[in-house]
Structure 1
Amino acid sequence: MRLMSLIAAFCLSASAALASPEFWKHEWSRTDFAITSVESWLEILSGGPPRDGIPALDDPRFIAAVDETRLTPREPVITLELDGQTPRAYPIRYLTWYEIVNDTVGEMPVAVTFCPLCNSGITFDRRTDAGVLRFGVSGKLRNSDMVMFDRETESWWQQALGEAIVGELTGTELTSLPSWMESWAVFLARNPDGLVMDQPDFARNYGANPYVQYDSSDRPFLYSGALPPHDIPALARVVRVGDQAWPMTRLAQAGNLVEAGLTFTWTAGQASALDADQIGQGRDVGNVRVRDASGADVPHDVMFAFAYHAFWPDGAWMLGQ
């Protein structure tokens, strides 16, 4: 991890010198940089790849879950179960390389997103008052979190917030949909008639983890903000619901927890996607479902503590004390 720290230090200094719309306009000629909610352009850094250097996927193929033979049991997937639709699994082994999947489930246009640097996996409704948007990966980071862009207006969006932060759609918020990370084995057992995203045609080392032992490091990549309070490690996982966060360690200890009108269920058996060199061999971080009092799934995110603190500095840490 020392090499990653050195790379991060170099990128921070280089990005600071280039953090300006005057530098970005040659690549983002349609983005209205005069409209933004970002206090300082120094908050936005290059993550390394250029615009679309990480290519988002549009209209992916799916196969029957029972026909999938490549996924290992503990590999994480993002599960989307919309009413009246066949449940779908989006494997992290693919999202690691593409980060955004623009899909349509029934008549619902969705964006399934995963930011490896924050472990943030959120699904959004792509419909807005400005129309249906298609999202791409800008190559920029803010608080180490992916900055997305829409191809219709080239506004920039903060993935963790689901909110436009630069451009004509600044302030627009996407609707988060109930989706969650769980192991492939858990998805398949519950949904034997479900669907799973098929392997994309692009040549990638699918199943490999480009971020070996990242979630064991002391500091996040390209992050210089405040660290979490309460002696919580920066890259500890928390379950965020709205502006509240529950440490994963607390949920793992409880197994079942009813609090703040929510029911959390934790079970073992999901591999960390950011640990071992093969995703399916990562250490066990467990599966979490979050439901409301009626038993309905609730939109939430399992993210790193530093990212929660960066975007919700006044949020409530649900420590059970």
Structure 2
Amino acid sequence: MQSVKWLHPRQLLKIFAASSIALFLLGFSNSFSIAEYRDREVETHLPVTPQFVPLFYSLEKYAQNTVSGGPGKDGIPAIDTPRFVSAGRAESFLGPEDIVFGVVLNDEVKAYPQKILVWHEIVNDRLGHENVSVTYCPLTGTAIGFKRGETTFGVSGRLVNNNLIMYDRATDSRWPQILGTAVSGSFKGKSLEEFRVIWTAWGRWKQRYPETEVLSENTGYIRNYQRDPYGSYHPLGGYYAEGSPPLFPVLHRDRRFDPKAVVLGARTRDGVVAFKKNSLRAKKIMEGTLSGKQYIAFYDPVLDTGYIYKNPERKLFVYENGQYTNADGKWEAGDLPLEKVNAFDAMWFAWAAFYPETDAYE
């Protein structure tokens, strides 16, 4: 029998449920000068920037409110030597409704199955000329990409607001995934460079990108990649179901939406905005305002995802037959002639816990 330190959080959930889960589940003070920052960046080869993500709480409060997720540091092993197969070979272990996290970067196209990342949470990979980490937190339903330079990321075993806290293996700084900003360690107060990861279904991704490579089940670890220890997305059940509570405490609760409702969120220098994903599916176009500036979300019917753009001139668009049109032409949802901001899906409870003052639209 495996020792507890090797149990994945999804395995722990089943144990908790069988043995009274309730009993178990009962800024910027270390900043660098510019010279120090550059020296540190060269020393660790980690591409970071001064913190740009809005923070509602101090870095110290985030650090002080971390909890153990069960397994210790690296108890959930990141994939450091990923292997990939063709779309055709991936058909042997992926069904059309299986969730994948899709990335298009540096002229490469890859898909990372949720059923694999649920057991590993981080894949340290390379896309084109760049080293990257594709990350997934099952407890908050968030998939985010980060550029990692010459270091790699691992799973710390700690959580804040139920969200994965990563650590970089160069300095052991701690990075909550949703923040993308270090809350402790040498890089405290610095933010990672991000890239878009698309949450979609395998059948949709394969149709749009038939040339895609797919993360292989041959990870070097013995795991049952056909079983999700937390529940199911098709049909929706277990931990993922609407109405089910978060597993661990959060810093803030917000009742505007169901805790497990999915929102498409973006963090900008103007503030934080979230669009309820089911509403975006229905309306196709949704608008919001941050600091007097308009942000606009478009639904992509091919990939069942959304994109958020700045729209300072308040241009008008109309949805027609899967495309968006105005007087200047026609575009796909991901290629509008506007400035795109990085956005990602998240469970509402987690988004609101990190960003209590978020603007939210449905």
TM-score, length of structure 2 as denominator length: 0.70
Map of 1:289 onto structure 2: 306
Alignment-derived partner of residue 342 in structure 2: 299
- For each residue in 1:171-221, what CA deviation from the matched residue of structure 2 results, as whole angstroms up to 9, or x when unmatched? 110111022111111111111112111112311110211112112243100
Aligned length in residues:
273
- Note the C-alpha offset of 1:42: 4.7
C-alpha separation in 1, matches of 2:19 and 2:341:
39
Aligned Cα RMSD in Å?
2.4
Output the CA distance in 2 between the equivalents of 1:41 and 1:7: 28
1:226 aligns with 2:252: yes
5+ residue gaps, structure 2: 1-12, 27-57, 232-237, 288-293, 310-335
Amino acid across the alignment from 2:229: P
Tell me the secondary structure at the aligned position of residue 87 of structure 1.
Answer: strand
Confirm whether residue 248 of structure 1 aligns to residue 277 of structure 2: yes
Task: Please state whether the residue corresponding to 2:305 is helix, strand or coil.
Answer: strand
Q: Return the offset for 1:248.
A: 1.5
2:105 aligns with 82
- 1:66 maps to 88
User: What residue ranges of structure 1 are gaps of 5+ in the alignment?
Assistant: 14-35, 269-285
User: Residue deviations 1:33-88, cap 9 Å, x none?
Assistant: xxx922275511001001100000113111111222210101111111014x2211
* Match in the other structure for 2:285: 257
Segments ≥4 residues shifted beyond 6 Å: none
| Correspondent of 1:208 among 224, 227, 230 | 227
- Mapping of 1:112-151 within 5 angstroms? 112-127=134-149, 132-151=150-169
- Whose Rg is larger? 2
Partner of 1:38: helix, strand, or coil?
helix
Match of 1:271 in 2: none
Residue 318 of structure 1, CA deviation: 2.1
Q: Deviation per CA, 1:9-48, whole angstroms, max 9, x where unpaired?
A: 44445xxxxxxxxxxxxxxxxxxxxxx9222755110010
The verdict on how the C-alpha distance between 1:57 and 1:297 changes in structure 2, with shifts beyond 3 A counting, is farther
Q: What do residues 70-113 of structure 1 show as CA deviations (whole Å, max 9, x unaligned)?
A: 10101111111014x22110111110000000111111111100
2:77 is matched with which residue?
55
Change (3 A) 1:9 1:167: farther
Closer/same/farther in 2, CA of residues 291 and 44 from structure 1, 3 Å limit:
closer
Q: 1:169 to 1:190 in 2, by over 3 A?
A: same
Q: What TM-score do you get using the length of structure 1 for normalisation? A: 0.78
CA distance in 2, matches of 1:262, 1:175: 23
- State yes or no: 1:193 paired with 2:211: yes
User: Is the CA contact 1:8–1:221 (under 8 Å) kept in the aligned structure 2?
Assistant: no
1:288-315 Cα distance to aligned partner (Å, 9 max, x none): 1315442786421111111111111111
| Contact 2:264/2:306 (<8 A) preserved | no
